[in-house]
Amino acid sequence: MKTIGRIWTALVCVLVLSAQTMCVSAEWIVEQESGETAESLILATEAEEWQATATAPVAESLDIHAKGAVLMELSTGKLLFEQNSHEKLPIASVTKVMTMLLIMEALDSGAIALDEMLTCSANAASYGGSQIWLEEGEQMSLHDLLKAIAVVSANDACAMVAEHLSGSVESFVAQMNARAAELGMADTTFKDCCGLDDTAVSSAADIAVATRELMQHKRITEYTTIWMDSLRGGESQLVNTNKLVRYYKGATGLKTGTTAAAGHCLSATAERDGMALCAVVLGCDTTDHRFGGARQLLDYGFAHYAVYTPAVDPASLTPVPVLGGVMPTVPLTVGEMTPLLLAKGEEKQVAYEVKLAENVEAPVQKGQTVGKVEVRLGESVCAEYPLIAEQAVDRLSVGVAFGWLLQALLC
């Protein structure tokens, strides 16, 4: 398998470099601050090493070389690991998690469309660091700009979209901070839309919160899972710095970031067997510690936890008597049963207890709570879900009762 992997990697590299030679005008773009090159990313052999050393770590063995780190399960928002989780740190281009969130929210609201063409301003064209070298007056679709942001962390693309959505970068940054406050990101202050300003701060816990919100927009993974792509009709070749996208099973993104002040940072997401995780590592001293730390956290989460969706036997939901109603009973249904995060194996210990009202007085509204189902894990109640009336039941009036009596006499 290793030999086949090396042959395949070499073949890809030959094809890529041959294409580059044939198209002398093509330029290769990677996230500049990462210290990586297109060649080093394409030729990397970490895939073999990661597969060979993959184990199921225990919490005590986790060795995360980061100033701040968390592991979050995304459906519940529960933190499975914390290390200085609320320490305020510079986050470099991980800032773009919030930028992408605002873009996706604008897309979903209809404020902008992926095929909409945007025009680059002089201000956007002036942005340094990671960029796609946009020129003043150049037009590009939101689809391509979002690709540039997600794959190569293009600062100029961020500014271009920010100006289009909010009128100015400053207004967009104010919107970023307002959205962070709404999400309860108390450790976070954004200073720009891209992460160039290292006086901005956030925390591993806050980045996980923003990541969770972003990943609810499923279309974003169409961009964050791209390994290689192109812009400008193939003239600009893109290579993703996030090696997890290429090598880690189930990887769905998300965003790297590197500056001298912030160190090597990463918000990494992956999904397996219906469970989605986010590993955030901030302030790593090397890129190997960044990806190694994220891998350890993700491996730990997938090895030890599972998402369990409760299901109640409909036969246990007996109709509840209705006092003074036009119907003697009302049928029940269970409200939405959100998934539970359990340690692997605990799903075998799950038990249910249905608690119903003895009766309910008419009128009964459809959706009215008339009981609950408790989900128990041993002696502990780990979740409660409402039992609700499946239909409305009107109060029995004198007129209705007289009509019934008359009908019975006539029959």
Domain 314-398, CATH: 2.60.410.10
Residue 94 exposed, middle or buried by CB count within 10 Å (0-12, 13-18, 19+): buried
- pLDDT (tens digit, 9 = 90+) per residue, 110-149? 999 999 999 999 999 999 999 999 999 999 999 999 999 9
Alpha carbon 214 to its chain centroid, in Å, reads 5
| Residues tagged active-site | 93, 96, 153
pLDDT in tens, 11-53: 444 444 444 433 334 677 767 666 666 666 666 666 555 655 5
| Mean pLDDT for all residues in the chain | 87
pLDDT for 28 equals 77
**What percent of the chain is helix, strand and coil (3-state, nearest 5)?**
40, 25, 35
In the structure encoding, which two tokens stand for residue 19, read together?
């294409």
Q: What is the dihedral of CA 79, 93, 266, 143, to 10 degrees?
A: 90
Domain 23-307: assigned CATH number: 3.40.710.10
Task: Identify each DSSP E strand in 52-156 by its residue range.
Answer: 68-73, 79-83, 117-119, 139-141
46-53 helix and 2-22 helix, angle to the nearest 10 degrees: 160
Give backbone dihedrals phi and psi of 5, rounded to 5 degrees, phi first. Answer: -60, -40
The residues, ordered by sequence, that sit 6+ positions from 375 with a Cβ below 8 Å of its Cβ are 310, 340, 350, 351, 352, 381, 382, 383, 384, 385
Nearest to 248 by CA among 30, 82, 58, 53: 53
pLDDT digits (tens, 9 = 90+) for 243-291: 999 989 999 999 999 999 999 999 999 999 999 999 999 999 999 999 9
Give the 3-state secondary structure of residue 179: helix
CA 324 – CA 61 distance, rounded (Å): 64
The pTM of the full predicted model, rounded to 2 decimals, is 0.84
Q: What is the Cα–Cα distance from 49 to 46, expressed in whole angstroms?
A: 5
**Length of the chain in terms of residues written:** 411
The residue extents of the domains of the chain are 23-307, 314-398
Residue 263 parent element (H or E):
strand 263-272
pLDDT digits (tens, 9 = 90+) for 161-219: 999 999 999 999 999 999 999 999 999 999 999 999 999 999 999 999 999 999 999 99
